[in-house]
Structure formats: C-alpha cells, structure tokens
Amino acid sequence: MSASPEVVPDFGGRAVLVVGDLMLDRYEHGQTLRVSPEAPVPVLRWSGRTELLGGAANTAANCAALGLGVRLVGVVGDDPEGERLAELARAAGIAFAAVRDPGRPTTLKTRVVATRQQLLRIDRERVGPLEAPVRQALLEALRGCECDFVLVSDYGKGVVDRAVMEAVLALGRPVLVDPKSPDLTLYRGAAVVKPNLAEAARALGCEPAEVERPEHLARLLELVQPGAVLLTRGAGGLLWVAPGEAPQVFPTTAREVFDVTGAGDTIAAVFAAVRATGGSVAMAARLANAAAGRVIQRLGTAVVSRLELAAALRSFGGSEKLLAAARAAELCAELRQAGKKVVFTNGCFDLLHAGHVHLLRAARDQGDFLIVGLNSDASVRRLKGAGRPVTGELDRIAVLAGLQAVDAIVPFEEDTPAALIALLQPDVLVKGADYTAEQVVGAEVVYARGGRVHLVPLMDGRSTSAILARR
C-alpha cells in the first residue's frame, strides 16, 4: 500500500547550514554528426550551455527546493565562475556566504554532452589545504551560524578538515556528513555519516562487496562514534547502522538510470531534513530513496521539490510529468537547442472537464512540447474564494498527467504565471478565447522572443464554476 502524501513533512521554518566544497557544473550541449579528419574523435556541433550548482552547492539547492532556509558556506575563486556560482545560488533562494580565495580557482566541472550522452568531462580545480588567511575567514563565517541542523558535503578538495568539523560541531546542532576522506575519524561527533560502498571500503581497507559483513559494519561505527552510518548502496538502496540497533535495509524502487550525478547530495538533503523535523529513520530513508529515484532520471545535478516528492509517493502516479520551475527552465533550453517548439498554457484545472481537455489538445497541436502551469491550492483559494479548489493540487496533477496532450506540469504559487513564463520563455502561449491576445499574461515575453499567442475557442457551458453552480 502506498503512503499518503501527508508523510512528507512541512520543512518551512527550518534552517540548515551547508558546508563543503563548492562547484560549478557546466554542460556543453550539441550533436555529433561526423568523425574529425584530424583524429578519430567525434566532432561536436555546439548548440548551447547549461550551468548548475554542484558539490556542496547542489546539496544546498536540494535543501532550498524542499522549502528549507539555507545558508551555504565554502570557498570560491575570485573569478567569473565564482560569480556565476553565487548568482545561481541566490536565484535558488540560498544565502550565499562563501569565502573568496584569489589564489584558488572555483572548481569547475565541464561535461560535453551529445544528444544527452556524456562524451567527456574536464575538471578545473585545485585540490589541497586552504591558505591560512582563507581558512581563518572560513572559520569566521561558520562561527555563530543560526540553524536547526548542519550538512557537511566533503568532496575532498580541501575545505573540510578537523578545524572545520570542530567549528561545525561547536554549533551544537545535529550534523550529517557526506564524507570523502578515507579517515572517517575526521567526522567523529556527527550524528550521521553517509558513505557510499566505495568510500566505506576505502575506510575499512576491504573490497566493496565485503563492507556489509557484521564485523565491518561494527568497525564503521567505531570509526564514527558516537554517530550512526547511512550507507548508500546504489540500486541496493540504503543501509542504516546505529549503535545498539540491528542494521536496517531500505530498498529503492527500480528506475531507468540516466545520470547519477548528485544523487548522493539529494539523499543527504532529504534524509537530514526529515530527521530534523522529527521523522523516523524509516520515513527519512523512504523519502530519500524516492527523491534519488527522481534525480537519476535527469541530466546532471538536479533537485526535487517537496511537492514532487509527495507526488512521487502517490500510487496513481503523475510524478514523472511534475517539474519544479528551475528544472522546467533547463528542459525548455534543451528543447530549444534541439529545435523543438515549447508551448505553455495555465490554469487552475479544478474539476477537469471537456472544456479543459479541448483546450489542452488544441495547445499541444501548436508545438512539440506542452507545459501546463498549475495554480497551487493557495493560489486557487485567493482567486476563487472559500471552498476552492474542490480537488487538491496533487489530485489535479495526477489527472493532468494522465492526459496524452500534457508533457509537463509546473505548479506556481503566485496569482498569475507571469514570473514562470519569464523563466521558461515559451515559443507559444495558449489561452481560451475569452481573452484577447493583449490580455494574456506573459504575452509581451513571448512576443519579445519572436513567439506568438494562440487563442482557443471555448466550448459552450463548459466551466468548473458552471458545473458547481448546477449541483
């Protein structure tokens, strides 16, 4: 039996401090149509670039998507990549408190991707201890931070050391560490240490297949005492090992894997957030597995919103078409690079009826990919009054997702989709013919990029308000 959506806690009002190695993930997109005459390598016909938060910044982005207040502390270079990372973090609602190091470049991971297949990764980074003045500035940034819990995301670049761990533990808050050092004693004092099988094997000096032997699990607990271990096992799910408890396995749901980049960041964010709000280990593991199952089906580092997570747990589905606004914007860019035309329409879609279906089919005919902007429950109440919506947003998402015409659904909290349209930059905007083109919200955005507005004739007598009036 599938759990109800109410198992997903409300993370609002909670604050997390994320500390660790910050990275900028850059994707160079294109198509490979031939082999170079200069060497036996493919020639990429470049079509565009995507930049995402990586490393500890991706962990922070996952926390922000859940609705947590996030403060991010780390180190970036005094360079354009550091500026871009700060810009992306602030756009995600993250309080960016990174220290600038003019002698150290911002870690940049550049991936060359042809038709969603990664061909090459180029790393620009400097690995090693921080210079003393930078280290001191980092410790000052950590001192006295107000938060409910801390996530330490160690990618082994040099930010996380004993001094940083001491400063983090001195805050007196629960700490979850995503480790990289083979010396797990570095993280002693943390509530949870979350290695993967390879990391645990390095710490134990054994093969990954041997990590789950009872004597090795006991040794892991000795290394991180007095904390617990959350072992990530890929397709094998999660293994929880805590002092005085029998080990618990939390299997994952089989998924088509596209890109595992950042899945560990998502697990860390969701698991820690659920535990910080009083959720059980079982609840935290289940939600973390569900969230990871979403991100591995996407290109590059990705995040999962609280609403996406709730929808992913619904037995009637619909979650695969549900996208957060930031992810939808990335997808729109990818579609445009591939020469596809993006269509957008929006509404409350409360009590879906024949008029809605008519509108959505007509909208889908205007291009290659239809995104539906959906008013949240709070937005519908403000627009329609008490008693509306009749059906909640998760039910409305599920019904819309069941329609062949709909390719993606993006909820929005505002009264109008103006900000969402500005973010997505669709090629075609579709509304019912009870509007004029000039009255359609977002029309100026679409016209500015050479797009158009399409008005669909209404079906007589088909409206949610009319249906409710006849009851």
The helix (run of H) or strand (run of E) holding residue 61 is helix 56-66
Calculate Rg over the CA atoms of the chain.
24
Which residue is listed with tokens 């991706």? Answer: 58
Whole-angstrom distance, CA of residue 171 vs CA of residue 142: 9
| DSSP of 297-362 | TSSSS----HHHHHHHT-TT--GGGB--HHHHHHHHHHHHHTTPPEEEEEE---S--HHHHHHHHH
Kindly compute the dihedral angle of the four CA atoms of residues 463, 352, 4, 271, in this order, to the nearest 10 degrees. -100
- The answer to whether the beta carbons of residues 377 and 389 sit under 8 Å apart is yes
- The answer to whether the beta carbons of residues 224 and 187 sit under 8 Å apart is yes
- The answer to whether the beta carbons of residues 422 and 414 sit under 8 Å apart is no
Closest to 449 in 3D by CA, of 427, 431, 430: 427
Q: What is the DSSP letter of 170?
A: T
> Six-digit token pair at 79?
């360079």
Amino acid at position 288, single letter: A
Whole-angstrom distance, CA of residue 114 vs CA of residue 363: 30
Whole-angstrom distance, CA of residue 98 vs CA of residue 207: 37
- The answer to whether the beta carbons of residues 295 and 56 sit under 8 Å apart is no
3-state secondary structure of 262: coil
> Six-digit token pair at 324?
């957060």
- Residue 302, exposed/middle/buried by CB under 10 A (0-12, 13-18, 19+)? buried
Strands 117-124 and 42-55: unpaired
Whole-angstrom distance, CA of residue 66 vs CA of residue 63: 5
Q: Which of 178, 265, 377, 427 is catalytic?
A: 265
- The answer to whether the beta carbons of residues 175 and 166 sit under 8 Å apart is no
> Would residue 265 show up in a list of annotated catalytic residues for this protein?
yes
- The answer to whether the beta carbons of residues 232 and 197 sit under 8 Å apart is yes
- The answer to whether the beta carbons of residues 57 and 74 sit under 8 Å apart is yes
Please report the beta strands in 348-464, taking only residues with DSSP state E, as ranges in sequence order. 369-375, 408-412, 428-432, 452-456
Amino acid at position 33, single letter: L
Closest to 152 in 3D by CA, of 248, 24, 249, 63: 63
Closest to 110 in 3D by CA, of 100, 119, 101: 119
Please identify every residue annotated as catalytic: 265
